Structure 1
Amino acid sequence: MHLPPPIQTFFTARAPQDGDALAAAFSPDAIVHDEARSHHGPQAIRDWWLAAKAKYRHHAEPMDVAEAGGKTVVQATVTGDFPGSPAVLTFTFGLKGERICDLEIG
């Protein structure tokens, strides 16, 4: 499966050592929507990602990728320490150049 480089980074980054690489995959004005909260900018996104990794100790394995409405939509199996694990979640990425500008997880 071919994923654009910043999306590949999102799925292959490991916490905590890859926090800076993960943040660098996002544009300066990026926003992430997850669990009814929004996280703005690479530093806040890095902090959210590290906290989620520490809390849920999860890993997402992409299963399918599609394009829809100018977005890259990735279905992934997410396994970790949370009720209902493993779960299939949808990651909807907006890209601006070579960086992620928005991400919605649902």
Structure 2
Amino acid sequence: MNLPKVVTDLIKAQNNLVSEDFANCFSETGVMIEEGMPYTGRIQIQELIEETNKKYRSVMKPVGYIEDGNSSVLSAECSGTFPGSPAVLKFHFVIVDGQIQHLKVTG
């Protein structure tokens, strides 16, 4: 599977549970939508990921990737200490100039 570097970096950061590296995959004004809530900018995203890493220790295994211009969808099997683990989640990206501008996670 051929993934953009920023998506590979995001997966690596998540699997290593490094919230700062995860957040650095985003632009300064990047937005992540998690469970319907928007988190804007690297600081908010890092805080979110740090909290969820402590609770769920989730790791990602890519199972599919579709790209259409700047928009793409990564399907990944996510496992951790959350109810329903493992689950296949979809990560809807908008990537501009090698950085994530927008990411929405859906079930």
TM beyond 0.5: yes
Aligned length: 104
Gaps of 5+ in 1: none
Q: What RMSD over aligned residues (CA atoms) do the two structures have, in Å?
A: 1.3
Contact 2:70-2:96 within 8 A present in 1 as well: no
Q: Structure 2 CA distance, aligned partners of 1:42 and 1:62?
A: 23
Deviation of 1:41 after TM superposition, in Å, equals 0.2
Gaps of 5+ in 2: none
Residue matched to 1:93: 93
Q: Where do residues 11-30 of structure 1 align in structure 2 (5 Å cutoff)?
A: 11-13=11-13, 14-15=16-17, 18-30=18-30
Pairing of 1:29-68 with structure 2 (within 5 A)? 29-68=29-68
Query: TM (normalized to structure 1)?
Result: 0.91
Taking only the aligned residue pairs, the percentage that are identical comes to 30
Runs of 4+ more than 4 Å apart: none
Please report how far the alpha carbon of residue 68 of structure 1 lies from its aligned counterpart in structure 2 after TM superposition: 4.1
